[in-house]
Amino acid sequence: VVVSFERMSRIVAIDEAAMLAVVQPGVLNGDLKAAARERGLWYPPDPSSYAISTIGGNVATNAGGLCCVKYGVTADYVLGLEAVLADGTVLRTGGRSRKDVAGYDLTRLLVGSEGTLAMITEVTLRLRRRPPPSTTLVATFGSLEASGRAVAAIVRSVDASLLEIMDRTSIRAVEGFARLDLDTEAAAMLIAQSDAPGSAELTRMQEACEEAGATLVAATEDEGEGQMLLTARRLALTALQRLGTVLVDDVAVPLPLLPEMFRRIEVIVAESATRVGTVAHAGDGNLHPLVVFDRGDAAAEARAVAAFEAVMAQALELGGTITGEHGVGTLKRGFLERQLGAASLALHHRIKDAFDPAG
């Protein structure tokens, strides 16, 4: 059974005084951003698919995005929900208050539940004041590991508003697709932003990149140039999809181990003889290795699946997770118990039974 919320696409209200929005699940993330912007407000979560992804989908997967390193993910903005249970009961959780500890936090339980517990029909979201203009920094590196070391150093010292990494494969795919004059010889490109006043934060980010061995470091206050670099990052999946079928992995590791995870991904790529373009919300250790293969080639597909699963195994070995923001779905179900353990998974089943006894 597939339930479409496409027609439930109304922004019910934007309360400027309370700095919140009430929306139906079919509202596009980008449309909510635009409506908030008209009122001098901001909805921060910004998955790369913000122009086409819905708030309901974002809530179901607890979507993140490029600015979540400083401003948080979807769950950080959900104040309350209306949802329909399997028996038709309409459930309301949370509300319009910023603080609420009455009973169990059913709002947080439903956020990220991927539609397995209830159908979300309305969302109350916290908004923020619009941030000040950002300065954008771009740095290139001779290795992915070096870019990871730069990110780890930056996060230890400042609160960057954006920290994104693209590897050589994704850089070349985007350049071939969009002709943005990217450095296709770089092993990795770091795109960072600072919206802090003054220059101290930007200076520290530049120093961290140089100390990690960056081959180039440049900064711009020009909004157009900054948006061009963000466009390059957002186009990575689209560009790689032109080269074949893509398995989109989504793992996260503790930030100090980001360089090591990059190294292990490169080993997996070499050993599996697959094409993988890795992009990352690097500031919170969330990596997206994009495994490209020819669906008409059974051997290539088998290698791609093996690489996809090897990435998850390595993330778990480093104390990370099989999914940072995309969810488990069907592809990763086999790895869920490996991460959660039998006791936790059994409790998941009991929670599912409480919401939906018929399964």
Is residue 165 included in any domain, yes or no?
A: yes
User: Do 33 and 125 touch, CB atoms closer than 8 A?
Assistant: no
Which pLDDT score is estimated for 248? 95
Backbone φ/ψ region at 40: left (φ over 0), alpha (ψ -120 to 50), beta: left
User: Could you tell me how far CA 158 lies from the centroid of its own chain?
Assistant: 21
CA atoms of 65 and 324, how far apart (whole Å): 11
Q: Where does the chain show beta strands of DSSP type E?
A: 11-15, 20-23, 41-42, 78-84, 90-94, 119-126, 128-129, 135-141, 162-167, 188-194, 216-220, 245-248, 251-252, 275-281, 286-293
Does 113 lie in the same domain as 41?
yes
CA atoms of 328 and 90, how far apart (whole Å): 26
pTM for the model stands at 0.93
Which pLDDT score is estimated for 1? 82
Does 146 lie in the same domain as 120?
no
Does 206 lie in the same domain as 76?
no
Q: Which residues of the chain fall below pLDDT 70?
A: none
From 100, 129, 158, the end of a domain falls on: 129
Q: DSSP class of residue 133?
A: P
Does 218 lie in the same domain as 110?
no
User: Do 144 and 189 touch, CB atoms closer than 8 A?
Assistant: no
Does 285 lie in the same domain as 204?
yes
Which pLDDT score is estimated for 48? 86
Q: What share of the chain in percent tops pLDDT 90?
A: 96
Which pLDDT score is estimated for 359? 79
Range(s) of the domain holding residue 17: 11-129
Domain count, the chain: 2
Does 212 lie in the same domain as 118?
no
pLDDT in tens, 9-55: 999 999 999 999 999 999 999 999 999 999 999 999 999 899 999 99
Is residue 2 included in any domain, yes or no?
A: no
Which pLDDT score is estimated for 339? 97
Rounded to 5°, the CA angle 69-70-76 comes to 90
- The structure tokens 């790369």 sit at 48
